[in-house]
Structure 1
Amino acid sequence: MTLLKAYARKRESDLFNICSYLLRSLKVNFTSRGLLDALEDHIEYPSLLSVKDTLFKYGIASDAIDKGTYSYEVFETPFICSIQQEDWPDAKFTIVTVAEAGNIEYLDPLTDKPVHIPVGDFEKIDKHVILLLDTTAPKHETNLAENRKKQRDSMLAGRVSVYLVLAAVLFAAGHILTHTAGLPAWCGLGFLLSSFLGLLISSLLIWNEIDTHNPFIREVCGGKSRKLNCHAVLSSSKASFGGISWSVWGFAFFAAFFCTQLLFPAHPGFMLIWSALSLLTAPYILFSVYYQWRVIKQWCPLCLVIQVVLGANALIAGCYLSDSPALPGSMEPYHIVVTVLAGLSFLLLANTAIPELRNARDGRTYEKKWKKLRYNPEIFQALLDKSDSVTVQANDLGIVVGNPHADNEIIKVCNPYCGPCSKAHPELEQLVKNNPGLKLRIIFTATGDANDKRTPVVAHLLAIQQKYGSEAVRLALDDWYLASDKDYKAFEQKYPMNGALEEQQEKIQAMRNWCKDMKIRATPTIYINGRELPDSYRVTELKNFF
């Protein structure tokens, strides 16, 4: 498997693969970016719960059950389960597409291709927890156009950077072949390509120092092989020199090497310097191979590739120096200074960046653990129980969105002209839409006075609910809160109410009295089942509890 293929496969998890396979089979429009973000942003990722909640966003309801003694054929396909081969360190998720006639067809988590095996063989690797799927009403991805644009821009940015580097290499190679003749030209081309390859491999070694557990790095470094283990070699006692790891030394060496070859292709002065350096570093090949073979007794595939590159450089250097005996006069102090400064700069950059990048990775890990604790329902409920409670009943007040008979209720106290209230509206509406057991009660702070600009808007919304019902007022709320300009005249023309507005004064006054009794001082004020939302939580976080 090539590095590019390994990267393309390992950058996405088995969870992503089964979800994308299912969505494609159902002809659901989605983006890889949107699906991957939905999975990885889940506080329980990677888990069956993260798959369940992610698929729900695409209109696919699901329920996890214990297979027990039931036959696979009694379950409607497709369904999701986890399997584990004997040589796998952990279980992986798969999707079963066919279960009939004593055979099972499932998506191989390693190859991402359908596999047919007998039921008995599948039974041996199955973990017996099945996620049943309701695929009758799938829906396309929310914000599909926006996500497609972001994904396209991200891919374009990545490809452009790769194309620019390749173009620079090709331009330098072309310059060498058109401005230099004979063996020096081929030696210059060899140095250019070998330094480029060395930079790529040493960058992977740097990546290994930052994130040892990255699936792509683990695959490149030998996967499940006991003899191939980059981490064992790179974390050994001899894996550093002068307090700096050999990975950093190698990166600085090849980065400076490549930059000088790119900027000064086949220049005699720089060719001489790098020829000398290539010969000086050649003994390191013997040290590295012996240390891995006889001391560690494990091999680092990336390190071995680096040794091959260093060996090729030594051969190129020998050929170049043997063909150019008069070259020492072409080397000037300028060439030495540029080489030294470039090497030191990359050495300092890598040595400084690695701890910062490692801390950033650890920070993301700790953040996920913190969110898992923060979004624990028991902790959230304990904090709710300590917050202020609703002391005045609000059963007949305001506008109700969602199932009026739902067990759970969110009260939103708001001002129709309040900016934060407008931002909270779509979040709460989506929450209610996705949870039939949740209702939203909206109570307004309007005074009912004629000179209060809030009064006509609130009266209008109440009149719409009274005359047309909950679905009409939900659409009217969207029109009002999602509008960038709160223009009541335009709203009034779209929803003509005639004399129904005057009938709402009593309702407005009742809401006003409730707000006074509850001592509402700011909007929006949110209550969850009669308890005020703690200050440390935001409306956008409520989706983690409902």
Structure 2
Amino acid sequence: MTNTKLDPITATTINFSNYFGFDAVTQLQEKLLQHPYYPSLLSISEVLENEAGIKNFAVKIQSDQLHEVNLPCMAHLNTKGGEYVLITEVKADKIFYELEGKKRQISFADFEKIWTGVVLVSEVQKQELKQKLNYKVLIPYLVPLFSIALIGILFFKSLTITLFSPILFTGQFICLVAGLSISVMLLIQSLGRSNSFIQQLCGSESKHNCNHILSSQAAHLTSWFSLSDLGFLYFSGSLLILFLSHDSTAAVAILTLNVLALPFTFWSVYYQWKIARTWCRLCLMIQGLFWLQALFSFFTLYKYPALFSVFNFYQIPLLLIVFLFPSVVWLSSKDLFKNAQKLVPLQSELNKFKFNVEVFKNQLYSQNQYVGALPKTTIVLGNPDSLLAITMISNPFCNPCAKAHQFLEEWITKGMDFKLNIVYTFRMDENDKQQHFFKHLLAIQQTDIHLVEKALKNWYSQDYQKLDSWKEKYPINVKEEDKLELLEQVNWCKLNEIKGTPTFYINGYQLPKQYQLKDLKYVLMNLE
């Protein structure tokens, strides 16, 4: 999932795309929020097709036709002012669906009462697209590799242990890693950035509800420091001590910290049992790990009492520094995470205004229009008859121009209807590399209009633009162009006071400075 809490419609859309093997969550969320008509069905449909490659259509059907559509599909309900659910299975008497990361079921009769009849359906079966997009095949290989690396770390660390058993060290290590992992989950949940896995672990019923415990006053030592923070600092600090300190020092230090933490387990269980009357599963896992770790610690000191005698008290300041290091890092960055979370709804509201088609048109039409007709030597890509014309003033040796060309080319490849005019800047100098590039490109266009797109793609895909090797790849007889035509292009750029590249015009109007063209795909698609 993304690093921010998703609204229900975005979450359902992303969940739908996940079924088809698409998991670039941040990209999908960003494009949805940039769509001028979000959260309409049009915005969902266009983003799924253009970003996730999932061809789809929306249709209004009768309830008896629901058994015939491809699953999963998104269904529109009239609850909460209009929401979308992901239908995963349809039976004669039941509907199985997902909403906000949870699997649910409802009787067919009850579903008919809240369903508007509208569904968004994929044109292909999910298995077909998964084969096409199945780049996640690497994941099964990553787990064994990570496990091997972890075993290697344990093995080499155990070779250095001289004062107590490697088995006991490994037990401590596993407890601390497990505790750190659960502590991170608690932090994610307490910061409101949960995902479906953590939600299922935590639960939302009256008897099992992590949020109820984590949001209570008892879970906060101060307004800025919670027990979730303390757990994270305990396990991360202890883990650093285990690896960076001498055996005896680490064993005694971890035992001391562990003993100090044990009374807290009684209070935590009592609070959940008698006061809150609900259980936090993740919290209970932490309590269990405290006691399991205590067993390893006490057994280590029972079997190796010499650890006390060789404890180096001079290392205590070093231990404090090691233990407090994660504290400093986390507490100094915690506010950044919180502030980023607060910015999400603000950014969403800003996007609704910024990417509103009427607002964009008002901003666009207040800008300067380019003067004079485009030069005859303008490179034209896309649909030459389209009503939407994007004009790009470019430089073949400009890195931002290369990036702009790549996303514009992607728009064309994905079927967006627009005309792309490219006007290159150069000097009237026989030694000017930009002019040599343009002459060659122009000759390609005049010989084979379809080859020019391929030549440009090849040029901008190079890490370092090498003119000679590119010319060799696309051999063409370059005629000496009429200098008047080249001069016309140079003068056109001067007349329009082109001061930098890339410069963009939309239907003849210069793109407002507050907009980035790459963010305007869906605004332009709906521009009349």
Kept in 1, the 8 Å contact 2:164–2:300? The answer is no
Structure 1 residue 409, shift from structure 2 partner: 0.8
Query: 1:430 is matched by which residue type in structure 2?
Result: E
* 2:182 equivalent to 1:201: yes
Question: How many angstroms apart in 2 are the aligned matches of 1:216 and 1:359?
Answer: 24
Question: How many angstroms apart in 2 are the aligned matches of 1:188 and 1:481?
Answer: 54
* 2:381 equivalent to 1:387: no
Distance 1:82 1:155, change over 3 A: farther
* 2:454 equivalent to 1:475: yes
Find the residue that maps to 1:238 and give its secondary structure.
helix
Kept in 2, the 8 Å contact 1:397–1:511? The answer is yes
Query: 1:541 is matched by which residue type in structure 2?
Result: D
Residue in structure 1 matching 2:31, options 42, 45, 51 = 42
* 2:404 equivalent to 1:410: no
| Deviation by residue 1:477-509 (Cα, 9 ceiling, x = unmatched) | 44555564353696388353476x54x556445
* 2:120 equivalent to 1:131: yes
Q: RMSD over aligned Cα, in angstroms?
A: 5.0
Question: How many angstroms apart in 2 are the aligned matches of 1:171 and 1:451?
Answer: 62
Query: 1:471 is matched by which residue type in structure 2?
Result: H
* 2:346 equivalent to 1:352: no
Q: What residue in structure 1 maps to residue 504 of structure 2? A: 526
Question: How many angstroms apart in 2 are the aligned matches of 1:282 and 1:270?
Answer: 18
Residue in structure 2 matching 1:248, options 201, 226, 229 = 229
Higher relative contact order (CA 8 A, sep 6+): 2
Q: What residue in structure 2 maps to residue 538 of structure 1? A: 516
Query: 2:200 is matched by which residue type in structure 1?
Result: E
Question: How many angstroms apart in 2 are the aligned matches of 1:155 and 1:107?
Answer: 32
Return the TM-score normalized by structure 1: 0.71
Residue in structure 1 matching 2:49, options 46, 55, 67 = 55
Kept in 2, the 8 Å contact 1:62–1:134? The answer is yes
Q: What residue in structure 2 maps to residue 5 of structure 1? A: none
Q: How does 1:251-266 map to 2 (within 5 A)?
A: 251-261=232-242
Distance 1:163 1:186, change over 3 A: closer
Q: What residue in structure 2 maps to residue 287 of structure 1? A: 267
Query: 1:44 is matched by which residue type in structure 2?
Result: L
Query: 2:504 is matched by which residue type in structure 1?
Result: I
Q: How does 1:81-480 map to 2 (within 5 A)?
A: 81-82=74-75, 91-94=84-87, 123=112, 126=115, 128-135=117-124, 156=142, 163-169=148-154, 180=164, 191=172, 193-222=174-203, 224-241=204-221, 244-261=225-242, 267=248, 271=251, 274-275=254-255, 277-312=257-292, 329=309, 331-334=311-314, 336-337=316-317, 339-362=319-342, 370-371=350-351, 373-394=353-374, 398-415=378-395, 420-445=400-425, 457-468=437-448, 470-479=449-458
Comparing 162-171 and 243-252, the one that deviates more? 162-171
Question: How many angstroms apart in 2 are the aligned matches of 1:490 and 1:264?
Answer: 58
Structure 1 residue 531, shift from structure 2 partner: 0.6
Distance 1:521 1:306, change over 3 A: closer
Query: 2:57 is matched by which residue type in structure 1?
Result: D
Comparing 427-436 and 187-196, the one that deviates more? 187-196
Question: How many angstroms apart in 1 are the aligned matches of 2:138 and 2:213?
Answer: 39
Query: 1:39 is matched by which residue type in structure 2?
Result: L
Structure 1 residue 225, shift from structure 2 partner: 1.2
| Deviation by residue 1:60-105 (Cα, 9 ceiling, x = unmatched) | 433334x25475269764673137899xx97532467x89xx6999
Question: How many angstroms apart in 2 are the aligned matches of 1:341 and 1:198?
Answer: 21
Q: Which runs of 5+ in 1 are unaligned?
A: 1-11, 24-31
Find the residue that maps to 1:299 and give its secondary structure.
coil
Structure 1 residue 402, shift from structure 2 partner: 1.9
Kept in 2, the 8 Å contact 1:412–1:440? The answer is yes
Distance 1:324 1:412, change over 3 A: closer
Distance 1:409 1:174, change over 3 A: same
Find the residue that maps to 2:450 and give its secondary structure.
helix
Question: How many angstroms apart in 2 are the aligned matches of 1:199 and 1:276?
Answer: 18
Query: 1:215 is matched by which residue type in structure 2?
Result: S
- How many corresponding residue pairs? 504
Question: How many angstroms apart in 2 are the aligned matches of 1:397 and 1:314?
Answer: 79
Question: How many angstroms apart in 2 are the aligned matches of 1:261 and 1:457?
Answer: 61
Structure 1 residue 435, shift from structure 2 partner: 4.4
Kept in 2, the 8 Å contact 1:399–1:442? The answer is yes
Distance 1:471 1:82, change over 3 A: same
| Deviation by residue 1:195-243 (Cα, 9 ceiling, x = unmatched) | 4443333333333344454433333222x31232323323322323466
Structure 1 residue 420, shift from structure 2 partner: 4.4
Kept in 2, the 8 Å contact 1:84–1:90? The answer is yes
Higher Rg of the two aligned structures: 1
Kept in 2, the 8 Å contact 1:43–1:368? The answer is no
Question: How many angstroms apart in 1 are the aligned matches of 2:254 and 2:460?
Answer: 66
Distance 1:278 1:68, change over 3 A: same
Find the residue that maps to 1:92 and give its secondary structure.
strand
Query: 1:200 is matched by which residue type in structure 2?
Result: S
Kept in 2, the 8 Å contact 1:260–1:339? The answer is yes
Find the residue that maps to 2:205 and give its secondary structure.
coil
| Deviation by residue 1:430-463 (Cα, 9 ceiling, x = unmatched) | 3334345311123345677867665565455445
Kept in 2, the 8 Å contact 1:459–1:508? The answer is no
Question: How many angstroms apart in 2 are the aligned matches of 1:190 and 1:416?
Answer: 60
Q: Which runs of 5+ in 2 are unaligned?
A: 1-9
| Deviation by residue 1:327-383 (Cα, 9 ceiling, x = unmatched) | 865555246555544444444444334333333454566556545543333332222
Question: How many angstroms apart in 1 are the aligned matches of 2:282 and 2:297?
Answer: 23
Kept in 2, the 8 Å contact 1:188–1:266? The answer is no
Distance 1:307 1:117, change over 3 A: closer
Distance 1:71 1:238, change over 3 A: closer
Question: How many angstroms apart in 2 are the aligned matches of 1:417 and 1:187?
Answer: 61
Question: How many angstroms apart in 2 are the aligned matches of 1:330 and 1:521?
Answer: 73
| Deviation by residue 1:83-135 (Cα, 9 ceiling, x = unmatched) | 7899xx97532467x89xx699988679999x999965764675633224444
| Deviation by residue 1:278-328 (Cα, 9 ceiling, x = unmatched) | 444433233222222333333222222222333445566677778889986
Q: What residue in structure 2 maps to residue 19 of structure 1? A: 17
Query: 1:128 is matched by which residue type in structure 2?
Result: G
Find the residue that maps to 1:410 and give its secondary structure.
strand
